[in-house]
């Protein structure tokens, strides 16, 4: 994951926290998350040449990989410790 400066993180987290608070009330409605991500990506990358338009794919793939590495894999490892590995 490309790490960003703490000052930039602080600025971005203000917006992220506000949006998270709104969406947190509807965790079961993944459609709203898709809508938000789509609108952000379309607004910022929806015009221009192929490279500009394809950048969201790279962003989403890297985001997925980072989420898997930091959230999913530790969860799976904990469950293996609790329940034993598959045979």
The pLDDT tens digits for 61-71 are: 999 999 999 99
Q: What are phi and psi of 85, to 5 degrees?
A: -80, 160
- For 69-83, the pLDDT digits (tens) are 999 999 999 999 999
Q: Give the C-alpha separation, 1 to 24, whole Å.
A: 24
Torsional sign, CA 24, 30, 61, 66: positive
| Residue 29: per-residue pLDDT | 75
∠ CA(1), CA(32), CA(74), 5° rounding? Answer: 40
Distance CA 14, CA 37 (A): 17
The predicted model gives 34-58 an average pLDDT of 94
Query: Could you give phi then psi for residue 36, rounded to 5 degrees?
Result: -60, -50
Per-residue model confidence as pLDDT tens digits over 4-42? 898 999 999 999 999 888 887 766 778 888 899 999 999
């Amino acid at each position: 994951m490309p790490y960003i400066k703490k000052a930039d993180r602080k600025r971005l987290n203000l917006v992220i926290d506000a949006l998270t608070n709104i969406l947190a009330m509807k965790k079961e409605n993944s459609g709203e998350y898709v809508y938000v991500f789509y609108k952000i990506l379309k607004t910022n990358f929806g015009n221009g040449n192929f490279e500009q338009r394809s950048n969201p794919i790279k962003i989403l793939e890297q985001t997925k990989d980072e989420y898997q590495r930091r959230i999913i894999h530790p969860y799976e490892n904990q469950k293996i410790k609790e329940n034993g590995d598959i045979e």
